[in-house]
Amino acid sequence: MSLNVRSVAVVGGGVIGASWAYLFLTKGLRVVMSDPAKGAEDSFKLFITKANADSDGSASDLQKLLVRFEFVDDITPHLPKVDFVQENGPERLELKQRIVASIDEHTRPEVVIASSSSGLPPSQFITECKKAPGRVLVGHPFNPPHLIPLVEVVPHPGTNQASITAALEFYKSLGKRPIQLRKEIPGFVANRLQTAINNEAYSLISRGVVSAHDLDAAVSSGPGLRWALTGPIAINTLGGWEQDILRNRFVWDETDIAKLRDEVNKSYGSTDWDEIVRERDSVLMDLLASKSKATSLD
């Protein structure tokens, strides 16, 4: 049934929820959003206005999107009507358990409930669900979800295959690139890979091998250009220095952290991050447009 999603509940309208909602709207879906934070509706309107402008949309394009959008104080009475739920509440276990239990109670039992959680394994936050916890899973996006294709679909041991398949199909229908985790694991996949490279980066910098600036260039002017196009298995590089890496595994004592902090400040203390973020997102859009024409790349 998720193959026929027409309306989505976006529960939680922070940065991630807002970006999901924008994506759903641009794909022709109806969106009902709730968020208890003060000014959440205004924040969303600001977000969507900017996102629309960044992708060269006109004011009338924006109005067309907003016709299918509704911000509500209480999502409960709307839940029986939606075909998919994307939950984006805070990463606090008890709160998440309550939110997901309430969504479970008020949605039709076959509707997939996906949480954007990046840290909580789904088996931990379904414990209060009484109705159909088998359709609950994690649908973890990368920020911002309306630009980055990856979505990690993470089932708990009781999630049924139909819901996993429906979630994968739904995200694919939006132009996303969902991946399926076969089991829960802390950090899921992409954040674990990021942690692996980060730990080695911190080690190299704090050991005085390279400046933080040059470390970053070693990625973004080198293998990072490959990683935007093909993953590490497809690239398949193996060298003889693994022993050395294991020998020098980074230990987080205060001296190491202080050295690292100094190096990062030296390289980035006076950086204009706004400009970097603006240009990064602009190039990213070019890159994605170019990459989408290459049918053999994932």
Catalytic residues: 152
- Asked if 258 is part of the footprint of a second copy (rule: CB under 8 A), the reply reads no
- Residue among 1 and 245 whose Cβ is closer to a second copy: 245
- Asked if 227 is part of the footprint of a second copy (rule: CB under 8 A), the reply reads yes
Angstrom distance (rounded) from CA 82 to CA 36: 20
The answer to whether 188 and 154 have CB atoms below 8 angstroms apart is yes
Give the Å distances, CA to CA, from 137 to 57, 251, 271.
33, 35, 39
Binding a second copy (rule: CB under 8 A), the pick from 150, 165, 259, 262 is: 150
**Structure tokens given for 40:** 């959440």
Query: DSSP readout, 23-78?
Result: HHHHTT-EEEEE--STTHHHHHHHHHHHHHHHTT--HHHHHHHHTTEEEES--GGG
Query: DSSP readout, 188-217?
Result: TTHHHHHHHHHHHHHHHHHTTSS-HHHHHH
Residues pairing with 152 in the sheet: 140, 179
- Asked if 253 is part of the footprint of a second copy (rule: CB under 8 A), the reply reads no
Footprint (CB under 8 A) of a second copy, residues 184-203: 185-187, 189-201
- Residue among 106 and 140 whose Cβ is closer to a second copy: 140
- Asked if 93 is part of the footprint of a second copy (rule: CB under 8 A), the reply reads no
- Asked if 257 is part of the footprint of a second copy (rule: CB under 8 A), the reply reads no
- Residue among 66 and 193 whose Cβ is closer to a second copy: 193
**CB-facing half-sphere around the CA of 102: CA atoms within 13 A:** 15
Scanning 52-60, 96-104, 125-133, 276-284 for contacts with a second copy by CB under 8 A, the matching segment is: 276-284
As measured in angstroms, the least distance from the Cβ of 173 to a second copy is 16
**Structure tokens given for 177:** 């690139």
Scanning 18-26, 32-40, 47-55, 149-157 for contacts with a second copy by CB under 8 A, the matching segment is: 149-157
- Asked if 240 is part of the footprint of a second copy (rule: CB under 8 A), the reply reads yes
- Asked if 279 is part of the footprint of a second copy (rule: CB under 8 A), the reply reads yes
Footprint (CB under 8 A) of a second copy, residues 110-129: 118-119
